[in-house]
Structure 1
Amino acid sequence: MATEAPPGAPRGSRDSLGWRKLFAVVAPSTNTSVQPEYDSMRPAGVTNHFARIAIPDTKVTDDASFMVMLENIRRATLEAVDVAMSMAPDDLIMGMSAETFWDGAEGAERMHRSLQERTGLKVVMGSQAVDAALKAYGGIRRIAVITPYMPVGDAQVRRYFEDCGYEVVALEGLKCPSPRLIAHVSEQELKRAVERVNDRHVDAIVQCGTNLAFARVAAIAEFWLEKPVIAINTATYWWALRSNGIADRIHGFGRLLADF
């Protein structure tokens, strides 16, 4: 059922369903996790509109083939961004992960600035959103990280977090065999990955890779471990909402959306 705009909202001047915010979301065509996870967090009056970065489902077996996949994403990203602009969104969310960590904090800022200049919109990226989420919890310095990547991607994730002032005390790359098959990693496998990277020296656990369906696992793990467990999709959508002044408390995805 459609939700009516609140009393006093301008009539006829806003999208009838997305009367609070229209988000354009750009994600790889092989990604089947980010859209359902974002939509499950969506408050009334906010709508998500996906444009796909057209890439093949290449086989990934090592660093070289991982870089082939990444180059496929890089070549097609701006075309997808331009397509997304045709629905006149309010903001742009990059529903992809690895490229937003590349070349550390400086590289992330460079990508962020370039996308803002191209679109004229506020741009939300996963790397910066996770940093904002860690800061929201407060007092976090030592983190453990889970990714679906090969070592070349893991090194870039480590560099980004170290640039931001965190100590990465454990990092596990799951070495997923293709971009599409990242979404086939089960919740049980993700639970075991959390167990492997966690110990008493870890202040928080972070997951990267938007096609890993980790939002529900993160919330459960955070409850049992009694420490922050941050899924990149949760952090990115949380930051998109909060940076727009949308403060709805959304339950079922951990403390980030419920408390901050």
Structure 2
Amino acid sequence: MGDVLGWRRLLGVVAPSTNTVVQPDMERMRPEGVTNHFSRIYVEDPVALSNEDFIAGTTAIAENTMDAVRSVMTCRPDYLVLGMSAITFYGGVQGSVDFKRRVEEVAGVGASTGAESIAAALHAYGGIRRVSFVSPYYPVANAEVQRFLEESGFTVVRDVPLQCRCWTDIAKVTPDRLREVIEHLDGPDVDAIVQVGTNLSMVDLAAEQEALRGKPVIAINTATYWHALRACGIEDKVAGMGRLLAAF
């Protein structure tokens, strides 16, 4: 007898305890027969005033991730969706692979990370070589995102680190502010625009800007949930949140 509500798949979704965006975002993307089961990585909401503060905060998330993974695995999900992003980019492609491997060893099931999902999404669109991106991070973390993207075969043309001072402030960045950033990031020299930082609300805005600009605008929460669905063999197309979920 399978799970009555999650008869297709149970997905464990892991995100920082300060994150208020991942859970509602991914619930909107859930096809019938798939259920999401949220687990929070305990982390304080520190004030970041420097690159060093930001790295310390994301290191705390990394250190507490495995406890959240062990917790969610008690409901026996089929697969994990990692709703944190900065730490999945650290160390380039190999660092991302190593982090995912540690999670999967603890969980005993597969997992989708933000970093690999962004790369997979860019490849899914096809023909993308030059990208720009926005994050809520400090410059030190943007450098790690750029390293990962370039090791994955893309050229980073421009990036904007919003330098949000604490984790909960990330969810307060307005669509109008993000539209200004996207205008700066876009140009004829850019094939696609990417957003990282899972507490930055960009799912709807990315879809809006993609339609407006005629090029991929990829929100990390969309990419990670899409990657998880496809990894589980679920090919449902979900309308209203951009071409990635609707067409690929």
Partner of 1:86: 74
TM norm structure 1: 0.94
Give % identity: 47
Partner of 2:129: 141
Structure 1 residue 233 corresponds to structure 2 residue 221: yes
Which residue, out of 185, 188, 193, partners 2:181? 193
* CA offsets 1:13-49 (integer angstroms, 9 cap, x no match): 1111111110001100000001000001111111111
Partner of 1:10: none
- In 1, distance between residues paired with 2:107 and 2:22? 22
Partner of 2:169: 181
* CA offsets 1:150-200 (integer angstroms, 9 cap, x no match): 011101000000110100000101001101110000111111111111101
Partner of 2:89: 101
Partner of 1:50: 38
Which residue, out of 157, 165, 170, partners 1:169? 157
- In 2, distance between residues paired with 1:64 and 1:99? 14
Q: Which moved more, 1:64-73 or 1:124-133?
A: 64-73
- In 2, distance between residues paired with 1:238 and 1:79? 25
Question: What SS does structure 1 have at the residue aligned with 2:105?
Answer: helix
- In 1, distance between residues paired with 2:57 and 2:68? 16
Which residue, out of 1, 20, 23, partners 2:8? 20
Describe how 1:198-217 pairs up with structure 2 within 5 A: 198-217=186-205
- In 2, distance between residues paired with 1:119 and 1:80? 10
Partner of 1:40: 28
Question: What SS does structure 2 have at the residue aligned with 1:50?
Answer: strand
Which residue, out of 97, 101, 107, partners 1:119? 107
Larger Rg: 1
The residue type equivalent to 1:51 in the other structure is: S
Question: What SS does structure 2 have at the residue aligned with 1:171?
Answer: strand
TM norm structure 2: 0.99
- In 2, distance between residues paired with 1:115 and 1:60? 27
Q: CA deviation at 1:75?
A: 2.0
Partner of 1:5: none
- In 1, distance between residues paired with 2:37 and 2:180? 33
* CA offsets 1:48-78 (integer angstroms, 9 cap, x no match): 1111001110001110110221122122111
Partner of 1:219: 207
RMSD of the alignment, in Å? 0.7
Structure 1 residue 132 corresponds to structure 2 residue 132: no
Q: CA deviation at 1:113?
A: 1.4
Q: Which moved more, 1:226-235 or 1:73-82?
A: 73-82
Question: What SS does structure 2 have at the residue aligned with 1:79?
Answer: helix
Q: CA deviation at 1:210?
A: 0.3
* CA offsets 1:110-142 (integer angstroms, 9 cap, x no match): 111121122110111010011110011001000
The residue type equivalent to 2:222 in the other structure is: T
Partner of 2:241: 253
Give ranges in structure 1 of 5+ residues lacking alignment.
1-12
Partner of 1:71: 59
- In 2, distance between residues paired with 1:111 and 1:74? 9
Count of aligned positions:
248
Q: CA deviation at 1:230?
A: 0.3
